Amino acid sequence: MSRGQTAASFVRRWLGGILVLGCWLGWTPVLAEDNQNRTWRTLDELSAEELARFDFSTDTPRHADIPYLPAEAYPFKPPYTPEEVGYRIMEFPHMPRWNCVQIEDTGTLTPTGYLFVQQIIALVHYRDPEGLMGQILAEPGEVYSRWLTQDIAPPENYGNQMLFSTFRTDQHLTKKADLFGYSLSMRRVRRFPQPRRQEKFPNAPMAYDDFLGRDAWEFAWRIVGTDVLYKTARFPKTRQSITLQSEDGTFQDVPASAIQLMGDDYPFYTEDNGVKCYLVEAIAKADWLPDYYAPRILFWADQHYFYPLRTEIYGKNGEPVMIEERVAKLMNPGLKERGYHNLITLWWDPQQDFYSYGIHDAMQLRDWSQEDKDVFFNPDFMRRTWFPAPLKTQAGISLPEEFFLRPQLHRGKFPTERSLVLPAYLEERIQAQEDAGYIVFTGETSGTE
């Protein structure tokens, strides 16, 4: 064996030892194949022109009356501070920020493979002005939105209703929501205790904060780098289309290949149909959110409108506790770039393998009259079991094998910022899924219940 061959053999053994040690320690190495088509760049790799879009000053002017807000008027102008980027991301919670009705087809796949699906009509009312400005301008403790949800499926849930009232918060007035429920079987309205932010919805992976949205002033913000996303919601090979309601009320089968990350109206796709994103970090402020269940969050927000297409939430020990992915669509053109809304949302708990989807269909903008507001968004209205907006959808799924694939992990991206260590049984399931092209369950499940 030549000296060159001996050296090469030594290097291979040395690298192999490093990889084994890294895996044993829970570190995921960046393999060569992860970077063959590298789409991500850290902040120190950006050009001067790219960096010029941001203001990294630490002493930016503050609002004259509310010191925890930036002085510049929302929605801001470049150069943006990382904090201002956080406010732009805040524009896009799960529910739309405008007056409307829509139907949500939602489903959950449990860690043991049981599928539960629902269809819910939602009536949404926001104080003026619509959009995030309505929340910012509200006084702390004031209600800025109300949502009435009415179950239409499955049959045993038909007529059950919920009324959310959401509040403007600050450091002292921390109440985020009032919640009333109506059960058709019990024929009574019940007021529930204020939802705890970290509590998960019944039999679902998402917490109330994942649904209600988070307030930017409760976090410290940092720009991490840039990336390009090409795919979020991945359809299984067993279901390669989705049925959606078109603007004229008819239903259309849309091929999965025709669904774009930001819809057909987005003008900034790359030549290969990707969406350029900023990776943005949010760290919970200890004096605002002490002992918060999600102290660190990463957002992939598109570079033009700051719409969050992917969100990774990390727990107190640095473990990933939630991955949310979205497909967006311009649903309120009157609000321009702030009129984007999630057509498809996926929530995945990568510790327990709880997985949910939500599809917003049949969006209709509404100009609620004062009488509408007084009647519909009132707990007493739920007793009547009226459906003022009888929407229908055919977007849902009926079999576990038709569920969206678990989110891609993108382990090679930003390896110093992300650590995606998963239980061994789940790694086995993910590999089996990728081999089969649809959701499968294999390996141990005893640790997931």
- Which residues are 219's β-sheet partners? 284
What is the C-alpha separation between 105 and 100, in angstroms, rounded? 16
* Residue 124 within any structural domain of the chain: yes
For the record, the structure tokens of 152 come out as 């239409």
Give the least confident one: 178-187, 281-290, 368-377. Answer: 178-187
H or E element in which residue 204 lies: none
pLDDT score, position 200: 87
User: In which band, very low, low, confident or very high, does the pLDDT at 29 lie, cut at 50, 70 and 90?
Assistant: very low
* Residue 308 within any structural domain of the chain: yes
More confident site: 32 or 284: 284
User: In which band, very low, low, confident or very high, does the pLDDT at 35 lie, cut at 50, 70 and 90?
Assistant: low
Q: Model's pTM, two decimal places?
A: 0.90
- Which residues are 227's β-sheet partners? 277
User: In which band, very low, low, confident or very high, does the pLDDT at 10 lie, cut at 50, 70 and 90?
Assistant: very low
Q: Is the pLDDT of residue 322 over 50?
A: yes
The proportion of the chain whose per-residue pLDDT surpasses 90, expressed as a percent, equals 83
pLDDT score, position 209: 93
Question: Is the peptide bond between 75 and the residue preceding it cis, with omega within 30 degrees of 0?
Answer: yes
- Which residues are 323's β-sheet partners? 312, 348
SS3 244: strand
Do 234 and 434 form a contact (C-beta atoms < 8 A)?
no
Q: How many CA atoms lie within 13 A of 122 on its CB side?
A: 28
Give the least confident one: 80-94, 190-204, 330-344. Answer: 190-204
For the record, the structure tokens of 250 come out as 């008819």
The DSSP letter of residue 156 is G
* Residue 69 within any structural domain of the chain: yes
Give the least confident one: 123-132, 195-204, 412-421. Answer: 195-204
For the chain, the first-to-last Cα distance in angstroms comes to 55
* Residue 264 within any structural domain of the chain: yes
The DSSP letter of residue 335 is G
pLDDT score, position 202: 78
Q: Is the pLDDT of residue 350 over 70?
A: yes
Q: Which residue has the tokens 């609620």?
A: 368
Give the least confident one: 207-216, 230-239, 274-283, 305-314. Answer: 207-216
The proportion of the chain whose per-residue pLDDT surpasses 70, expressed as a percent, equals 90
Q: What are phi and psi of 102, to 5 degrees?
A: -155, 165
What is the average per-residue pLDDT within 158-173? 95
SS3 235: coil
What is the C-alpha separation between 72 and 259, in angstroms, rounded? 36
Domain that holds residue 256: 39-441
pLDDT score, position 305: 98
* Residue 433 within any structural domain of the chain: yes
Number of domains within the chain = 1
H or E element in which residue 19 lies: helix 3-24
For 390-430, the pLDDT digits (tens) are: 999 999 999 999 999 999 999 999 999 998 999 999 999 99
What is the average per-residue pLDDT within 422-440? 94
User: In which band, very low, low, confident or very high, does the pLDDT at 36 lie, cut at 50, 70 and 90?
Assistant: low
What is the average per-residue pLDDT within 8-37? 40
* Residue 230 within any structural domain of the chain: yes
What is the rounded (10 degree) CA torsion for 42, 330, 84, 286? -80
Q: What angle do CA 129, 131, 136 make, to 5 degrees?
A: 75
Q: Is the pLDDT of residue 43 over 80?
A: yes
pLDDT score, position 441: 86
pLDDT score, position 359: 98
- Which residues are 348's β-sheet partners? 323, 355
* Residue 17 within any structural domain of the chain: no
Do 229 and 300 form a contact (C-beta atoms < 8 A)?
yes
* 162-166 CB contacts, 8 Å cutoff, 24+ apart: 163/377, 163/378, 163/379, 163/382, 164/212, 166/212
Instruction: Classify residue 409 as exposed, middle or buried by CB count within 10 Å of its CB (0-12, 13-18, 19+).
Output: middle
* Residue 25 within any structural domain of the chain: no
H or E element in which residue 375 lies: helix 370-376
What is the C-alpha separation between 122 and 364, in angstroms, rounded? 11
Residue among 229, 231, 238 at smallest CA distance from 259: 231
CATH at 133: 2.50.20.10
Instruction: Classify residue 117 as exposed, middle or buried by CB count within 10 Å of its CB (0-12, 13-18, 19+).
Output: middle
Residue count (the chain): 449
For 64-123, the pLDDT digits (tens) are: 999 999 999 999 999 999 999 999 999 999 999 999 999 999 999 999 999 999 999 999
pLDDT score, position 289: 94
Residue among 97, 364, 366, 96 at smallest CA distance from 246: 364
